[in-house]
Amino acid sequence: AASSGAAAGEEKESPGTKLVAAVPPEIVGNSSGGGSPGLEAGTGSVDGIAAKGSRDQQRWCKRCKLYQPLRTKHCHDCGVCVRTHDHHCPWVGTCVGEGNRLYFYWFLLAQSVELAVFLCEGVFVFFSDDWHLHGELLVDSPGLVFGLVVIGLLLIMVTALLCFHTYLAMANLTTWENISWENISYLRSMQQDCGSPFSMSLRSNLAAYCCPPWCRLEECGCSPNIAGLKRTEDGWAIWELGEPHLPEVLDMNYCCWCCPDLDHA
């Protein structure tokens, strides 16, 4: 029965959840002490963090029956808890989180470039070699005009989303935290304007974003602790609450914002 239940869970699993799941689906809910390496017996805690004494920071997932690591959220669509949860994206059919948010960023960048190229090619149709506008084409090609308007609107939306995720990466925030700050137990007591309690220097924030768990740091020339984070044996980040702050480059009150020291930002 257990094996059939596991098989059913695998069939429902979203394509990207293995990259972002907080714990493997097969040990979710094992709070009775089965000896699973990712769960402490009888506590439902993960990352070797005992639930006792840390319940004010860790959130209890009623569905998975475990204490979630900081920044983890249960996704009802994927059916698993997702590390460093950003959002569930219906366009890619899975959650965006710690394991695949870099892929999502490059996806947005590629879509922005693609839309910009198509928009330029479409606009050039209405101009001659000497940049003279052929007004009659605007009347004779209403479908093309409509298509260009749609492409233009999509370009604005995708580019805005790309800029937003650039800000999130620099500030070490997620979409979920930015939108639901007041509803997150370990964040609601802090002022959101002061920045993320997980934020480090600008360089460390970007390193944490650009070096996901599956990244082989030694092969890309980065030191293992480039982001200054503790990590699990599987490479997942172990987030710790610190003093909320914004990197200097994002702090509008910083007088020398144009020349920040990236190591101390």
142-171 and 101-124 helices cross at what angle (nearest 10)? Answer: 150
Pairs from 104-111 (Cβ < 8 Å, separation ≥ 24): 104/165, 105/162, 105/165, 105/166, 105/169, 105/209, 108/158, 108/161, 108/162, 108/165, 109/162, 111/158
List CB contacts of 60: < 8 A, sequence separation 6 or more: 44, 66, 67, 68
Cα gap 106→109, rounded to integer Å:
5
How would you class 224 by CB atoms within 10 Å of its CB: exposed for 0-12, middle for 13-18, buried for 19 or more? exposed
Which residue from 62, 68, 54, 60 is spatially nearest to 22, judged by alpha carbons?
68
Cα gap 107→102, rounded to integer Å:
9
Active-site positions read: 89
Cα gap 99→132, rounded to integer Å:
50
Find the distance separating the first CA and the last CA of the chain, reported in whole Å. Answer: 54
